[in-house]
Amino acid sequence: MSGAGRRGAWVAAAVVAAALLLVPVFEPEKFTLQFMTRVMVMGLFAMGLDFALGCGGLVSFGHAMFFGTAGYALALMAPGGEGASFWLSLPLAMGVSALLALAVGALALRTGGVYFIMITLAFAQMLYFLVHDTRFAGGSDGLYIYTRPDATLGGFKPFDLDNVQHLYYVVLGCLAAGFALLAWLKATAFGRVIEAIRVNEERMHSLGYAVFRHKLACFTLSGALAGAAGYLGAVQFGVVNADMLGWQMSGTAMMMVILGGMGTLWGAALGAAAMLGAELGFQSLPVLHFAGHDVELGKHWLLWMGVCIVGVALYLPQGLAGLLSRRPRTEPADD
């Protein structure tokens, strides 16, 4: 990226950050803040998946298992009406998801291609049915988190997660921290090796790099960030259920990454915002009166979402990030 392009990217990032910081000031309504909080939670989830998918070339179709596992970990750490400590429960939930990703990756990464996809999906589905059919996990109804985590530290409480605005800023901070961590990792030697493995794994292996360990570290970190998103999602909605572990959730996150643009990190967050915004818009479509019949456009919002996704796949192969970063074509000089 040229110096001007890098400066433009920093300016754009500063504008977006300022806009997000000011959302609670100009749009203090509870619905708006809850919707934007959900967008950022899914943006963090999509960014974590993008690090494995777009940067490492690891097509995981079971990433929701790490997302949901962290939510269940929080619910089990706060039984009844007790509230867990935020400063302990967040790293513990992320650690559980990271350990699960380490175990699954240690097995799945011994394969590749479609076999890796199927193994990650199989593990996610096994965990889904384990949670769905067991009483300790609440079965199909899931578990309720009656009291949100307590942020008190040394007698001082910097924020209250029961406050919608406070929760918004906490999620925004986690999103920014996740993006900064992944952007830094991409710029390090580790990140460059990961991307080189994605491009030509055999060559990197012949050069003496520990390909398996690099891919396993990438997958484990991606699972930990998915766990952070699942934890924050559980805090926001106060309930966890088996659907958080299902393949539909994994597919939704993958579509967000593809829609935003794989390998860009910020594109994944943009894809989450675009997809959830389009979902809300399509669900709000009016009822049309045609030939004596009522046509409920909003009722068929999944149809319109499908049309949009197909259109992006056909005409925007690099996603929305590729569209925004596309340079205008310069005309050749006349002779």
pLDDT in tens, 250-282: 999 999 998 888 888 888 889 999 999 988 888
Number of structural domains in the chain? 1
Tokens of 234: 């559980």
Q: Which of 165, 182, 170, 173 is nearest to 268 (CA)?
A: 182
Q: Is residue 333 part of a domain?
A: no
Q: Which among 201-205, 228-232, 240-244 has the top mean pLDDT?
A: 228-232
Instruction: Assess whether pLDDT exceeds 80 at residue 242.
Output: yes
The helix or strand, by DSSP H or E, that contains position 143, with its residue range, turns out to be strand 143-144
Q: Is residue 246 part of a domain?
A: yes
Cβ contacts of 259 within 8 Å, gap of 6 or more: 271, 274, 275, 309, 312, 319, 320
143-144 and 293-296 as β-strands: parallel, antiparallel, unpaired? Answer: unpaired
Q: Is residue 232 part of a domain?
A: yes
For tokens 């059919």, the residue is 133
Instruction: Assess whether pLDDT exceeds 70 at residue 6.
Output: no
Instruction: Assess whether pLDDT exceeds 50 at residue 335.
Output: no
Going through 241-301 in order, the beta strands assigned E by DSSP cover 287-290, 293-296
For 151, the domain range is: 27-284+293-324
Q: Is residue 8 part of a domain?
A: no
Cβ contacts of 120 within 8 Å, gap of 6 or more: 60, 61, 62, 63, 104, 108
Q: Is residue 330 part of a domain?
A: no
Distance CA 335, CA 330 (A): 15
Percent of the chain that is helix, strand, coil (3-state, to 5): 70, 5, 25
Tokens of 5: 């392009």
pLDDT in tens, 208-226: 999 999 999 999 999 999 9
pLDDT in tens, 143-183: 888 889 999 888 888 999 999 999 999 999 999 999 999 99
At 19 the pLDDT is 86
Q: Is residue 214 part of a domain?
A: yes
Distance CA 67, CA 163 (A): 23
Average pLDDT over the chain, rounded to whole? 87
At 329 the pLDDT is 47
For residue 98, give the amino acid letter: A
Q: Is residue 19 part of a domain?
A: no
Instruction: Assess whether pLDDT exceeds 50 at residue 319.
Output: yes
**Is the CB of residue 260 less than 8 Å from the CB of residue 321?**
yes
- Residue 250 belongs to domain with CATH number: 1.10.3470
Look at residue 328 and give its three-state secondary structure.
coil
Q: Is residue 259 part of a domain?
A: yes
239-240 and 287-290 as β-strands: parallel, antiparallel, unpaired? Answer: unpaired
Long-range contacts of 16-22 (CB under 8 A, 24+ apart): 17/176, 20/172, 21/172
pLDDT in tens, 65-106: 999 999 999 998 876 667 889 999 999 999 999 999 999 999
